[in-house]
Amino acid sequence: MQFKYDPAAGGFQFNVNGAPKTPKPRKPRKAVGSKGARVAINLIVTLLVGLVLFYVQLPAVNLHAEEFYGFVLTLCLVYCGCAVVTSGFQSEGVKSYFTFVKKQCTVPFLVIVALIVVALVGAASSWVVLRANAYQKLLTVQPGDFASEVDEISYDQIPMLDGASAERLGDRKLGELADMVSQFEVAEDYTQINYQGRPVRVTPLRYGDVIKWFNNRASGLPAYLVIDMVTQNVEVVRLAEGMKYTTAEHFSRNLYRHLRFRYPTMMFDAPIFEIDEAGTPWWVCAKREKTIGLFGGDDNNGAVLVNAITGESEYCAEVPAWVDHVYSAGLIIRQYDYYGMYHNGFFNSIFGQRDVTVTTSGYNYLAIGDDVWVYTGVTSVGGDESNIGFLLSNQRTKETHYYAVAGAEEFSAMGSAEGQVQQMRYSATFPLLLNIADQPTYFMALKDASQLVKMYAMVNVSQYQIVATGSSVMECEANYRAMLARSGLISEAQSEVAPADAAERHEFTGTISDIRSAVVNGNSVYFLYLRAGGGLDGGVFRADASRIPIAPLLSVGDTVTVSYRDTDVAQYWTDAADIAVS
């Protein structure tokens, strides 16, 4: 027995064998088979791992795709790891592993080195510091004149719902369907499109969970929702054959996997759910390309259209006219930011910042013709609370127009509209930009705490202290035009709410049985209760004194002829366009 004093170990230690122990040498590993067999095993394992990774990660087989480099690098490391195991190699440090890989795994080692070199060179060739001029040219911006190029649109073309309100209506509608609500949910797509001449939002259903997918996968998703942005009507469109190729599917019917197996080299933007004019559901999958170096200059070039029911797909360099979304709002805004920041060079965007502009932090959609246009404001890089202009960009063709209109930025206008009804505590949606009497005008809905639209507001872009509200769009516009006329921005003739395509005028002659008055947005408004000659009640007519000067002079018993339109201002009265005393 041998004793040894070791304070660090707590005192005397002893070895019953009488001699210090020495570590046993590691048992040498044996190589697996011959060299050819080892290579075959390494390749088979790498291939199997690669198939699993490709099935799960779905990388594009494309040198422009960043994820492709990670995929190939992973396979090379798997092969080298298998080679270490099958060769029986034992290492005494990192250096010996590196030497082994360099000698015994020459091909994967060279592939790793080549990938690193290509990635570094590709990143350098895409670096915005060196290629600022190329980034600036990604988007072609055409200057335009707002009053002449942006037409006034009729009430049935103005989207009155934002995404949050549409989502709430969709969830509520699904809750009314007893045969669906237990198995399906409403997806969060809510794509705004033009469908049969109307601005609508569409979204598919999705499975409630994996178990519900398993129970319903054979028949697919049975319906999609169409939400009218003007009337706020929600329609559930039931399909004769369910949608089997969606982002909610699993395995081979999953939309991303379905695309990757058919187009292994293509890169895609996020799929967009749309319907054609016949109501057939499609996925619009824009083809993403890198146009600057290897990794820079994101842009889209056509799209793959996938039938959500059958899975049939086709790449279209020029998409059909019913397609509304090829270029996402995020892509367009990003490209304009490059345009605004780098048109005088990269270093000017940091030092000096002469003529440097950026988009504001929000955007909205506007239906113009058969297309959907994205709208956003443009402001100076200094971050003040005013816009120097705004953009309208076609999401199908990327045609982009810039309008130099100085005024309040959108969030200032939203605050101004909320202040007008502050006692109601309504919140404003992000505004649309409309042409009202050749005046650039912010239009927004005012929502209550339940996200239900209660009122509407219009704010003049150039003079955002001019704010009008109303319980309907027609009432809001009437108040707004009256305020513009009083401010001298438009003529008295333009103050009439009568666009060329407005509702047809009608006339009613009757005797005033009662008159009530109120002050709305600083204007005197008279409500006339009329009775026809035969004693029948003719209804209630609203007369705004700012537009109908004779209204304050009317009395009970007067016989009048009221000119009005089909579009009601509210549920209980009709807006009078003109009044004549008989």
What is the DSSP annotation of 28-70? PPPP-S-HHHHHHHHHHHHHHHHHHHHHHH---SSTT-HHHHH
> If pLDDT is split at 50, 70 and 90, which confidence band does 535 have?
very low
How confident is the model at residue 26, as a pLDDT?
59
Residue 219's nearest CA partner among 247, 189, 257, 253 is 253
Asked if residue 426 and residue 390 are part of one domain, the reply reads no
Segment 410-436 shows an average pLDDT of: 91
- Residue 536 clears pLDDT 60, i.e. is over it: no
Same domain, 522 and 378: no
Query: Who wins on pLDDT, 101 or 434?
Result: 434
Q: What separation in angstroms does the CA of 134 have from each of 126, 298, 335, 349, 380? A: 9, 11, 11, 15, 22
Tell me the average pLDDT across 103-110.
86
User: Which of 282, 267, 379 shows the shortest CA–CA distance to 331?
Assistant: 267
Return mean pLDDT, the chain. Answer: 86
Residue 232 has a pLDDT of 82
Whether the Cβ atoms of residue 460 and residue 468 lie closer than 8 Å to each other: no
Which of 30-34, 100-104, 309-313, 417-421 tops mean pLDDT? 309-313
Q: Is residue 311 part of a domain?
A: yes
Closest-CA residue to 529 (of 494, 574, 499, 578): 574
Give the residue from 226, 218, 232 showing the smallest Cα distance to 183. Answer: 218
Question: Does 11 map to a domain?
Answer: no
415 and 396 together in one domain: no
pLDDT of 568: 44
The last residue of one of the domains, among 283, 316, 349, is 316
Statement to judge: residues 399 and 418 lie in one domain: no
Confidence bin at 166 (pLDDT 50/70/90): confident
Provide the CATH number for the domain around residue 514: 2.40.50.140
C-alpha span between 563 and 580 (Å, rounded):
8
Would 185 be classed as within a structural domain?
Answer: yes
pLDDT-derived band at 226 (thresholds 50, 70, 90) equals: very high
Mark which of 442, 461, 495 sits at the end of a domain.
495
Q: Does residue 149 form part of some domain?
A: no
pLDDT of residue 368: 84
Given a cut of 60, whether residue 569 has pLDDT beyond it is no
Q: What is the pLDDT at residue 318?
A: 95
3: in domain: no
451 within 8 A of 165, measured Cβ to Cβ? yes
- Is the per-residue pLDDT at 571 higher than 50? no
Q: How far apart are CA 111 and CA 107, in angstroms?
A: 6
Q: Looking at the structure, tell me whether residues 248 and 197 fall in a common domain.
A: yes
Comparison of pLDDT for 114 and 509, the residue scoring more: 114
The pTM of the whole model exceeds 0.75: yes
The lowest-confidence range among 143-157, 303-317, 337-351, 439-453 is 143-157
Strand residues in 221-370 grouped as ranges (E)? 221-228, 234-243, 267-268, 272-275, 281-292, 296-307, 313-316, 357-359, 364-368
Q: Quick one: pLDDT at residue 140?
A: 96
pLDDT of residue 270: 96
Average pLDDT (98-123) is: 88
Residues 399 and 417 reside in one and the same domain: no
**Torsion sign, CA atoms 532, 535, 538, 540:** positive
**How large is the average pLDDT for residues 481-488?**
90
Give 367 or 415, the one with higher predicted confidence.
415
pLDDT at position 448, please? 86
Q: 497 with 490: CB under 8 angstroms? A: no
Whether residue 22 is predicted with pLDDT greater than 70 in this model: the reply is no
Residue 28, phi then psi, degrees to nearest 5:
-65, 140
The gap from C-alpha 21 to its chain's centroid, in whole angstroms, comes to 70
Q: Which two tokens stand for residue 532?
A: 């026809």
Given a contact cutoff of 8 angstroms between Cβ atoms, the answer to whether 229 and 160 are in contact is yes
Q: Is 497 exposed, middle or buried (0-12, 13-18, 19+ CB in 10 A)?
A: buried
In a domain? residue 103: yes
* Least confident segment among 50-54, 86-90, 185-189, 341-345: 86-90
Percent of the chain topping pLDDT 70:
88
pLDDT score, position 370 = 86
Q: What is the pLDDT of residues 178-189, one digit of tens each?
A: 889 889 999 988
Mean pLDDT across 376-402: 90
Mean pLDDT of 248-265: 96
126 has a pLDDT exceeding 50 = yes
Of these ranges, 223-232, 307-316, 462-471, the one predicted with the greatest mean pLDDT is: 307-316
The answer to whether residue 53 sits within a structural domain is: yes
| 500 located within any domain | no
- Which domain does 427 fall in, by range? 410-495
CA distance 401 to 287: 24
Say if residue 73 is in the same domain as residue 208: no
Q: What is the pLDDT of residue 156?
A: 64
279 lies in the same domain as 354 = no
Q: What is the pLDDT of residues 260-303, one digit of tens each?
A: 999 999 999 999 999 999 999 999 999 999 999 999 999 999 99
pLDDT at 172: 87
pLDDT score at 86 = 86
- H/E element holding 251? none
109-123, 166-180, 555-569 — which one is most confidently predicted on average? 109-123
* 237 close to 226: Cβ distance less than 8 angstroms: yes
Query: Which residues on adjacent β-strands are paired with residue 509?
Result: 561
**Which of 12-16, 148-152, 360-364 is predicted least confidently?**
12-16
Q: Which residues pair with 490 in a beta bridge?
A: none
Q: Are 509 and 582 in contact (CB under 8 A)?
A: yes
Specify whether 287 is located in the same domain as 175.
Answer: yes
> Alpha helix (H) ranges present in 58-151?
66-87, 94-104, 106-125, 128-136, 146-149
Q: 297 and 389, same structural domain?
A: no
Please tell me whether residues 42 and 86 are part of one structural domain. yes
Lowest mean pLDDT among 54-58, 140-144, 339-343, 501-505: 501-505
What b/e string do you get for 223-244 counting C-beta neighbours within 10 Å, with b at 16 or more?
bbbbbbbbeeebebeebeebbb
In this predicted structure, the answer to whether residue 167 has a pLDDT above a threshold of 70 is: yes
Examine the domain organization and report whether 486 and 439 are in the same domain. yes
pLDDT band at 169 (very low <50, low <70, confident <90, very high): confident
Domain end call among 70, 103, 125: 125
pLDDT of residue 7: 54
pLDDT number for residue 195 = 93
Mean pLDDT of 232-256: 95
Number of compact structural domains in the chain: 5
Which is nearest to 364 in space by CA: 159, 195, 143?
159
Q: Write down the pLDDT at residue 573.
A: 60
Query: Is it the case that residue 2 has pLDDT exceeding 60?
Result: no
